[in-house]
Amino acid sequence: MSELTGLTLKAALDGLDAKTFSSEELTRAHMAAVEGARALNAFVVETPDKALDMARAADARRAKGAAGPLEGAPLGIKDLFCTEGVQSTAASKILRGFEPAYESTVTSNLWRDGAVMLGKLNMDEFAMGSSNETSAWGPVVNPWRAQGGNAQLTPGGSSGGSAAAVAAELCLGATATDTGGSIRQPAAFTGTVGIKPTYGRCSRWGVVAFASSLDQAGPMARTVEDAAILLRSMSGHDPKDSTSLPVDVPDFPAFCGRSVKGLRIGVPKEYRVDGMPPEIDALWEQGIAWLKDAGCEIVEVSLPHTKYALPAYYIVAPAEASSNLARYDGMRYGLRVDGESLIDTYEKTRAEGFGAEVKRRILIGTYVLSAGYYDAYYLKALKVRRRIADDFDQAWEKVDALLTPTAPSAAFALGEKSDDPVAMYLNDIFTVTVNLAGLPGMSVPAGLDAQGLPLGLQLIGRNLDEGTLFSLGAAIEKAADFRAKPQRWW
Amino acid sequence: MAIDAATVRKVARLARIAEPEDRIESLAKELSGILDWIEQLGEVDTDGVEPMTTSVETTLPMRDDVVTDGGDPARVLGNAPKTEKGFFVVPKVVE
């Protein structure tokens, strides 16, 4: 679109600081990019007036010498975050027209630090999906296409709008959320960086709840350093979220570029799964070689319960979702479809307001929590969850971080997997373990497959050790020298 | 098949979702497919394992028992489908 939209967040902040351009100029360039990219369906709400107001206010603060760490940087916000006075729907019909009277803590933190909002980003409905196809507002299209093909590909999900917007240079960075891989898998599918921090690092207050013990916000960006800059602003203890951790926020960007010499990197053998494309295996080997060259020690480790993580997740997450989504009853906000009685009104409202995947998960969750099945399914899954977390604890006795592929394939075509729920769920096979254990995980773009589509590597760290992930991520980024960009067709 | 049509109807009622009769059989098949796949958890030895509900192993914090927000009915009602005289209007609850 223009040179300004091609900048990294770091370069844009430096340019603003040097008065090379104003936030208003930077923001206008991104507004034009957003307007010109409607074919991607990445934004569900554009807020150009608000963006200009915020940009001018940012310019005024900078002129007074009161610039915050993100002063004047235009960002996109996943529609799962409540934004005061701006429609927030979680990409669901049941929340059409919902304009929160409050601002989520994470977005409040971004505005406190001077960021500018371009609008709300598309996603899978209630963050339930791995392809963005469950959105009530239609799927997002990946800006990347296979070489020589023009099939529309998924940007991944659930944070597909965030991933597509960052990859297509519509915003300098975006907020996203990750319950089972919803930041990392879209990052891998779009050649972007995404980090799910430690559970509790970012406040969940004002983020529409899906599965409360797994949901965690994080940034998507075009470089590891940009992701670190964004996470530093998004993080922090919040008394309004009882699971928010009362710990200080490290200076994450300072970890980028730090030596990784002597770090022990675990390679879990259980992540070598049948049917994985050989290119992904080769990329993994390449990643191991890069970290070895950077002075890391590579250690084979075993996480024996890995294969049980997805089935455990598909009990825990729907169970929590069925409880969380009980609030959509058509009484206080959102859609109401009048029926003949109170129960009839509830049932019609929820039948009309929820999409097929959300209903499927509510039904599964209701079933596994119902009398007679609670012990066999729900309690069993919670025990398996403990086993999975124990696997990681044992690995931490031998290693400082783990390296794995992010996803078992590159981006696939829209419509390719939408008929088979279990095939779709398998997208999260390498990412979901981290949510169950509460650990931080990051996806870094590391190469292209034979079709020219991006592939990512995942780094997993100890609790609250995002810093090491930023150091390792920056090392991989440097070694991979990933510069490919999607060819503009939109 | 783990879930039959009668179970789908019962669970849909519990979840307060009206599922049309012509969807029940296919839902039973879909949900059974997912649950059959989940059955593999039975292979894991979980004897004596403590269930894990959260990764944050601390007691919930307490705060002072004081009012921190409120007193703004217009904002509370701002998104309501139906209101009257500062109240939510809901269908008749008691016959």
pLDDT tens for A423-438 read: 888 889 999 999 999 9
Of A311, A339, A386, the CB nearest to B40: A311
d(CA A462, CA A466): 8
Mutate which of A245, A270, A305, A332 to test chain B, going by most B C-beta atoms within 10 A?
A332
Handedness of CA B20, B26, B29, B30 (dihedral sign): negative
pLDDT of the residue at A199 = 98
Q: Is the pLDDT of residue A225 over 50?
A: yes
Sequence-separated (6 or more) residues with CB below 8 Å from residue A20: none
Mean pLDDT for A208-237 is 98
Residue of A158, A162, A244, A471 marked active site: A158
Chain B: nearest CA to A9, how far in angstroms? 32
Using 50, 70 and 90 to split pLDDT, how confident is the model at A277? confident
Per-position DSSP letters for A389-400, written without gaps between them: HHHHHHHTTT-S
pLDDT of the residue at B81 = 96
Q: How many helices (H) and strands (E) does chain B have?
A: 3, 2
Residue A177: strand, helix, or coil: strand
Using 50, 70 and 90 to split pLDDT, how confident is the model at A276? confident
A261 as an active site residue: the answer is no
B51·A383 Cβ contact <8 A: yes
What are B78's two structure tokens?
Answer: 């701002």
Mutate which of B4, B7, B11 to test chain A, going by most A C-beta atoms within 10 A?
B11
**What is the 8-class DSSP label of residue A459?**
E
A389·B8 Cβ contact <8 A: no
- The DSSP bridge pattern shows strands A441-448 and A401-405 to be unpaired
d(CA A52, CA A237): 30
A78 as an active site residue: the answer is yes
pLDDT digits (tens, 9 = 90+) for B38-91: 999 999 999 999 999 988 877 888 889 999 888 999 999 999 999 999 999 999
pLDDT of the residue at A419 = 80
B19·A330 Cβ contact <8 A: no
pLDDT of the residue at A325 = 98
Using 50, 70 and 90 to split pLDDT, how confident is the model at A1? very low
> Which residues in A lie closer than 8 A to residue B92 (C-beta atoms)?
341-342
B79 in reach of chain A (CB within 8 A): yes
Q: Which amino acid is at A202?
A: C
Chain A: nearest CA to B24, how far in angstroms? 12
pLDDT digits (tens, 9 = 90+) for A46-102: 999 999 999 999 999 999 999 999 999 999 999 999 999 999 999 999 999 999 999
d(CA A288, CA A443): 15
Of A354, A367, A387, the CB nearest to B3: A367
pLDDT of the residue at A408 = 92
Mean pLDDT for A413-418 is 91
> Which residues in A lie closer than 8 A to residue B41 (C-beta atoms)?
308, 311-312, 315, 380-381, 384
d(CA A211, CA A258): 35
Q: Is the ipTM of this complex over 0.85?
A: yes
Q: Is the pLDDT of residue A154 over 60?
A: yes
pLDDT of the residue at A2 = 62
